Structure 1
Amino acid sequence: MSGTARHGMGRGVLRPDAAAAVLEVRQHPPAPELAPLVEFYWNPRWDLRGRPDHEQKVLAYPNVHLVLEPPEPRVYGVQRGVFSRVLRGRGQVLGVKFRPGAFRPFTDGPVAVLADRTVPAATLFGPGVVALSTAVLELDDLAKMAALADAFLLGRVPRAAADPKVAQVAELVERITASPQLFRVDQLARELELSVRQLQRLFADYVGASPKWVLRRARLHEAAARADEGAGIDWARLASDLGYADQAHLTRDFTAAVGAPPGRYASG
């Protein structure tokens, strides 16, 4: 595991120590009735007045987010590359992290159409989400912010709860992300007694990213977490542990995703 307790940032946040120096991220659970759909609310806050802008990069998880932010709330599909955001001045947002697969009931088609995209939240949730965003961002009390978001989303639970595949997909993705030693799509399909094509369609429809991408991202999260611990890592052994053919394969994968080889990233 990475040094999450040291820097207070979750996995996927690149350069977490630097992020913690400029950014506070609070979390709050949803109402119990929403727990099957929403993992948690997240509330990053920053005050960079008189300080340089900060670019924060994130290796995202296979989740869709509703983000209450100025100038308008937006829905973020699964970001398959490195997600980057420049923070300046003073501000905050409130994000709703939907469980993998749990955003499907809120759309009229496969979640894959949102991959690598952001869309105005009003197109999916109606104009009321704009008023919600304004009201939430005027608050400082996270519990009150979460309560407003709860009330807004609870009116949409019945439709979402009617789809049994939501829980199935969430459990499946959680299993993958918790087990970076699970390497191959065909292996996963066999364990689920599905064909590879069936598994691919399920992920396109509900997750918004392919099973191959989800498996790869779980391995990269583990590699980045190790790299954030600092230098002195046995990369060849880690490559083997994560199912890569060799260290060069890990290096290529990591560099393509993060923008720097793992050794250079680890050395800061």
Structure 2
Amino acid sequence: MRQRPRGDSRGILDPGRLLREVRFRRHLPAESLRQWVEHYWLIDWVLSAPFEQRVVPHPAVNVVFRRDDDGPESGEVAGVGRDLFRITLSGTGRVSGVQFRPGGFHPFWRRAVSELTGRRVPLPAGRLTPPDAPVGEGTFPGAATSATSDDERCRALDTLLTSWQPEPDPTAEEAVRLAEAIRTDRTVLRVDDFAARHDVPVRRLQRLFLEYVGVGPKWVIRRYRLQEAVEQAAGGPLSWADLAADLGYSDQAHLVRDFTAVAGVSPAAYARSVS
């Protein structure tokens, strides 16, 4: 079990600008929740002009609470996003978010996570649970965005998630483990090779990922490899032909097409924008 949150910027387009414009940080949840939750992410901002942030989504569900200009707190469950996510922030505000590990939301949702893919489902005031989820009702954890300290905000999220009463699920643990293997091992390029390596039939692997992660294993592999490409593009000059080969693409043009589709700009244009 990890002892500190991830320090990478995978998925965040132009992370340097994000850190200049807003206060962004990550914290680990209570230890009992770490088998399912990747981290909590907190953002606070005071802006004189609107700021747009773009994110290449992870294959993960997020639960997000937001408050703008001392207004009411709103909450939503964000399923795995297939497209580039854009958000514009202005004035003052704060967000407290939960990023689940891929496969880790199923013990809370208790249905096929693919039902949430590409959707953002509001959490109505007066409920602690996603709409129609088969668990109890409660109230918003107002401290998620109104508390003065990060510790208080994280404790509010701990309380929220614990109240959803997730139950141990060996199949969810398997999905989390397999998705983590794809994320951390850049040699994973093909579904059939990955399935053979882990002694899982391809058909079962596909069903497992759709039920527990929300998208298929091929999509997860390609998304993580594209996030690597985005991260490397922000790091300085590189050989796109060599990177395409490293990430399992048949040629550089295929990588450029996929990169442009997911990031909204070509690799060269993105590299120039962050330099």
Structure-1-length-normalised TM-score: 0.89
TM-aligned CA deviation for residue 128 of structure 1: 2.5
Task: Write the deviation string for residues 163-216 of structure 1: whole angstroms up to 9, x where unpaired.
Answer: 111221111111101122211111112122222221111001000111111000
Determine whether 1:160 maps to 2:158.
no
TM-aligned CA deviation for residue 27 of structure 1: 1.6
Match of residue 259 from structure 2: 254
What amino acid is the match of 2:83? G
The structure 2 residue matched to 1:120, chosen from 119, 122, 128, is 122
Task: Write the deviation string for residues 124-176 of structure 1: whole angstroms up to 9, x where unpaired.
Answer: 4665242x1x232111201111112212222334x422x11122111111110
Match of residue 96 from structure 2: 94
The structure 1 residue matched to 2:230, chosen from 205, 224, 231, is 224
How many angstroms apart in 2 are the aligned matches of 1:129 and 1:203? 31
Match of residue 55 from structure 1: 52
Match of residue 191 from structure 1: 197
How many angstroms apart in 2 are the aligned matches of 1:240 and 1:146? 41
Task: Give the 3-state SS of the residue equivalent to 2:97 in structure 1.
Answer: strand
Identity across the alignment (%): 41
Task: Write the deviation string for residues 15-42 of structure 1: whole angstroms up to 9, x where unpaired.
Answer: 1111111111122111111111112111
**Preserved contact between residue 102 and residue 160 of structure 1 (Cα < 8 Å):** no
**Preserved contact between residue 43 and residue 96 of structure 2 (Cα < 8 Å):** yes
How many angstroms apart in 2 are the aligned matches of 1:57 and 1:126? 34
Determine whether 1:235 maps to 2:240.
yes
Q: After TM superposition, where is structure 1 displaced by more than 4 Å over at least 4 residues in a row?
A: none
Determine whether 1:77 maps to 2:72.
no
Match of residue 13 from structure 1: 12
Task: Give the 3-state SS of the residue equivalent to 1:93 in structure 2.
Answer: strand
Task: Give the 3-state SS of the residue equivalent to 2:74 in structure 1.
Answer: coil
Task: Give the 3-state SS of the residue equivalent to 1:120 in structure 2.
Answer: strand
Task: Give the 3-state SS of the residue equivalent to 1:12 in structure 2.
Answer: coil
The gaps in structure 1 that reach 5 residues or longer are 1-7
How many angstroms apart in 2 are the aligned matches of 1:66 and 1:126? 17
Task: Give the 3-state SS of the residue equivalent to 2:185 in structure 1.
Answer: coil
Task: Give the 3-state SS of the residue equivalent to 1:154 in structure 2.
Answer: helix
TM-aligned CA deviation for residue 80 of structure 1: 1.4
What amino acid is the match of 1:128? G
Structure 1 residues 151, 53: closer, same or farther in 2, change over 3 A?
same
> What is the root-mean-square deviation in Å for CA atoms of aligned residues?
1.7
Match of residue 180 from structure 1: 186
Match of residue 148 from structure 1: 156
Structure-2-length-normalised TM-score: 0.87
How many angstroms apart in 1 are the aligned matches of 2:172 and 2:66? 27
Structure 1 residues 118, 192: closer, same or farther in 2, change over 3 A?
same
How many angstroms apart in 2 are the aligned matches of 1:168 and 1:23? 36
Task: Give the 3-state SS of the residue equivalent to 1:78 in structure 2.
Answer: coil
The structure whose residues are more often helix, as a share, is: 1
TM-aligned CA deviation for residue 228 of structure 1: 0.6
How many angstroms apart in 2 are the aligned matches of 1:69 and 1:218? 27
**Preserved contact between residue 255 and residue 261 of structure 1 (Cα < 8 Å):** yes
What amino acid is the match of 2:156? L
Task: Write the deviation string for residues 70-122 of structure 1: whole angstroms up to 9, x where unpaired.
Answer: 45210000111111111111111111111111111222421001011111234
Determine whether 1:65 maps to 2:80.
no
What amino acid is the match of 1:263? A
**Preserved contact between residue 56 and residue 84 of structure 2 (Cα < 8 Å):** yes
**Preserved contact between residue 209 and residue 216 of structure 2 (Cα < 8 Å):** yes
Match of residue 36 from structure 1: 35
The gaps in structure 2 that reach 5 residues or longer are 1-6, 68-72
What amino acid is the match of 1:189? A
